[in-house]
């Protein structure tokens, strides 16, 4: 089947620290991979995506590389800011299943000054 596993939180970091949130997936075929972010009181927003192996998605200083060999799509940022405090969701979508998105459980990140 299709599923996404991401590291459990909560994660607390000091400002300017390096961030990694692990995400691995199980899927048949070639899914598209996504990271969504949910700021307090708001809906999920697309942060970045990658549609094929070795693609790197990037946005707002965040990066994630689609690794087919390790079935991973880890989220990284070199220097986090207080404004990055949010919940991050990893997700996959298999084109052949139409609209089905599979989400991870979310990882809460708190950045302290």
Partner 1 sequence: GAVVSQHPSRVICKSGTSVKIECRSLDFQATTMFWYRQFPKQSLMLMATSNEGSKATYEQGVEKDKFLINHASLTLSTLTVTSAHPEDSSFYICSAVPGGSAVNTQYFGPGTRLTVL
Interface contacts to partner 1, rule CB under 8 A: 4, 32, 34, 36, 38, 41-46, 49, 89, 93, 99-106
User: Could you tell me if 64 and 35 are in contact, meaning their C-beta atoms sit under 8 angstroms apart?
Assistant: yes
Question: Closer CB to partner 1, residue 17 or residue 87?
Answer: 87
DSSP result, the chain: --EEEE----EEEETT--EEE-EEEE-SS--EEEEEEE-TTS-EEEEEEE-STT-EEEETTEEEE-BTTTTB--EEESS--GGG-EEEEEEEE-GGGTT-EEE---EEEEEE-
**At closest approach, how far in Å is the CB of 1 from partner 1?**
12
**Nearest distance from C-beta of residue 15 to partner 1, angstroms:** 26
| Least gap, CB of 69 to partner 1 (angstroms) | 24
Q: Which is nearer to partner 1, 13 or 103 (CB)?
A: 103
Closest contact distance (angstroms) between CB of 83 and partner 1 is: 17
| CB closer to partner 1, 98 vs 113 | 98
């Amino acid at each position: 089947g299709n599923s996404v596993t991401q590291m459990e939180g909560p994660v607390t970091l000091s400002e300017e620290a390096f961030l990694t949130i692990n995400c691995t997936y199980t899927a048949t075929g070639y899914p598209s991979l996504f990271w969504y972010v949910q700021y307090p009181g708001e809906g999920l927003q697309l942060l970045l995506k990658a549609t094929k192996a070795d693609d790197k998605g990037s946005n707002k200083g965040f990066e994630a590389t689609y690794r087919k060999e390790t079935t991973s799509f880890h989220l990284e940022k070199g220097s986090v800011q207080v404004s990055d405090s949010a919940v991050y969701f990893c997700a996959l979508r298999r084109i052949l299943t139409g609209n089905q998105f599979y989400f991870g459980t979310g990882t809460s990140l708190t950045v302290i000054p």
